[in-house]
Amino acid sequence: MFRPKLVPSSLEPALLIQIHELMVKARALEERLIQMYRQGHGYFWIGGPGEEAFNVPLGLLVKKGRGLDHDYHHWHYRQSGTLLAMGEDPIGALRQMKNTASDPYSGGRNFAGHFSKREWNVCPVSSPIEVQYSMAPGTALAQKRHGGDGITIVTGGDAGTAEGDFATCLVWSSRKGQELPVLIIVTNNRWGISTPYDGQHGEARISDRGRAFNIRCKTVDGNDPVESYLELKEAIDYVRKERKPFLIEAMVSRLYGHSSASGANFVADEVDCIRRFEDRLVEEGVLTREQMDAVRKRWTDEIAEMARRVREEPLPEPDSIWRHVYWEGGKR
């Protein structure tokens, strides 16, 4: 059984409380999405429960905004915690789950967790597990040329690193004298749908692959929000300042399986980052159990209420399939 190390938190209590609330909010959102799927209010679920301890700090650390002076995001489909930490209203994810016309990310066209938000440089998430690694050098190249301190952040899972696009990202971002400001993230949940880690990986650590390219790299405990915050901060500061890539591998859990295709049932034998964090917050006297239960109840109730609202919203008009095949000059 995994026993957490008891190291004192090195973050301010206010930040710990903020991270905790966002983690709980992200979990409440994912659990509601799963429930919507079960109740027939969505065809498919995929998301990020089990990655909150890493994804929330990431969202708090990014430079949010549109254009080259801000960070560009090339995510996979487990990034709800990051988007919420950036300040997004959770109702958008519920609308995408229900494929309503009001879905702010895809207008009812795409799966849950397939975010897109140009206002914040969140590039469209797509279902292939690797393509974002090929696109990231493009935004990073534009940012390097532009100057300033905007960086590109790309995320994917351990399984996606088997695809050639991961190598593309390492090659294109590390060319001598032409290094690119990319934070290359791999969240390692030790599964590729049903292929266990050992069935795909001969390398000891995925982050080791960065060494061959002279890319700074590190493996961190992505189930620990404090370690994640501190390590991400260091990595992001490095990429921002040095304009060079950094590869970070975060060991995380996959708490509801790959997607609804594998049942989306809670997995009891993996570390639950929220439970672990809460034990620590109690132990350190940052929050009481009652306070944390109240936070959980508040977000569970609030998101359930949002889901009820979303259920009444109309689906996209059939004729809308012809919209946006080509650019119409912006959203709506």
Partner 1 sequence: MANMAQAIRMALHYAEERLGVTDVFGEDVGPPLGGAFTATQGLKTAWNSPLDERGIIGCAIGLALAGQRPVAEVQFVDYVFNAIDLLKLAGNACWSSAGDWNLPMVVMTPVGSGIRGSVYHSHSFDATATHIPGWFVVMPSTPLDAYGLLLAACKQDNPVMYLPPKALLRIKGEELIPGEPGDDKQLSRLIDAPQGDRSKWVPQWPQLSDPELPLGKAKVVREGRHLTVVSYGRTLPLCRKAAAELEGEGIFAEVIDLRTLWPYDWEAIRASVTKTGKVLYVNEDTEVTNFGEHLIRRTVDELFYQLLAPPRLLAGKFVPGIGLADTLEMASVPQLPSILEAIRHLHAQEP
Are the CB atoms for 207 and 248 separated by under 8 Å? yes
Strands of 57-120 (E only): list them: 72-74
Instruction: Classify strands 152-157 and 182-188 as parallel, antiparallel or unpaired.
Output: parallel
Nearer to partner 1, 110 or 259 (CB): 110
The whole-angstrom separation of Cα 136 and Cα 130 is 11
The whole-angstrom separation of Cα 311 and Cα 120 is 27
Nearest approach, Cβ of 296 to partner 1 (angstroms)? Answer: 32
Nearer to partner 1, 128 or 263 (CB): 128
Nearest approach, Cβ of 137 to partner 1 (angstroms)? Answer: 5
Chain positions contacting partner 1, by CB under 8 A: 67-68, 72, 74, 103, 105-107, 109-110, 114, 116-118, 123-124, 126, 128, 131, 133-143, 152, 164-165, 168, 171-172, 175, 323-328, 330-332
Nearer to partner 1, 40 or 330 (CB): 330
Nearest approach, Cβ of 275 to partner 1 (angstroms)? Answer: 36
Nearest approach, Cβ of 330 to partner 1 (angstroms)? Answer: 7
The whole-angstrom separation of Cα 45 and Cα 53 is 20
Nearer to partner 1, 172 or 229 (CB): 172
Strands of the chain (E only): list them: 72-74, 152-157, 182-188, 191-192, 195-196, 216-221, 246-251
CA distances from 94 to 28, 59, 122, 310 (A): 12, 19, 18, 7
Nearest approach, Cβ of 68 to partner 1 (angstroms)? Answer: 6
Are the CB atoms for 77 and 113 separated by under 8 Å? yes
Nearer to partner 1, 289 or 323 (CB): 323
